[in-house]
């Protein structure tokens, strides 16, 4: 083995290490991006389901002046 062979092996080793050092963060980035997308979709799905299942609030009572009878109850009594 000559000096130039040793040099080539060193360059190959350095090249491989550089490739691994670059590829590990790239793969980790894609994994984290995928996880973030999954979590985001899950949160949106939960939010949609909560909005669909949320019961509507009853209509607030609107009071008139003297007799304190709510207007919407008076309207219901007139319809009957």
> In the chain, where are the structural domains located?
3-79
For residue 74, pLDDT beyond 70: no
Beta bridge partners of 9: none
Q: What is the pLDDT of residue 65?
A: 57
To the question of pTM greater than 0.75 for the whole model, the response is: no
Q: What is the pLDDT of residue 29?
A: 95
Other CB atoms within 10 Å distance of the CB of residue 12: 10
Q: What is the pLDDT of residue 72?
A: 54
Any residues with CB less than 8 A from the CB of 70 and at least 6 apart, and which?
Answer: 61, 62, 63, 64
Hey, is 58 helix, strand or coil? coil
Other CB atoms within 10 Å distance of the CB of residue 70: 14
pLDDT digits (tens, 9 = 90+) for 8-57: 888 888 888 888 888 999 999 999 999 999 999 999 999 888 888 767 77
Q: What is the pLDDT of residue 58?
A: 73
């Amino acid at each position: 083995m000559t000096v130039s062979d040793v040099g080539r092996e060193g360059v190959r080793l350095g090249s491989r290490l550089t490739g691994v050092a670059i590829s590990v963060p790239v793969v980790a980035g894609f994994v984290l991006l995928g996880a973030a997308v999954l979590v985001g979709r899950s949160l949106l799905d939960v939010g949609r389901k909560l909005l669909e299942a949320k019961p509507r609030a009853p209509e607030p009572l609107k009071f008139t002046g003297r007799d304190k009878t709510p207007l919407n109850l008076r309207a219901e009594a007139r319809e009957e």
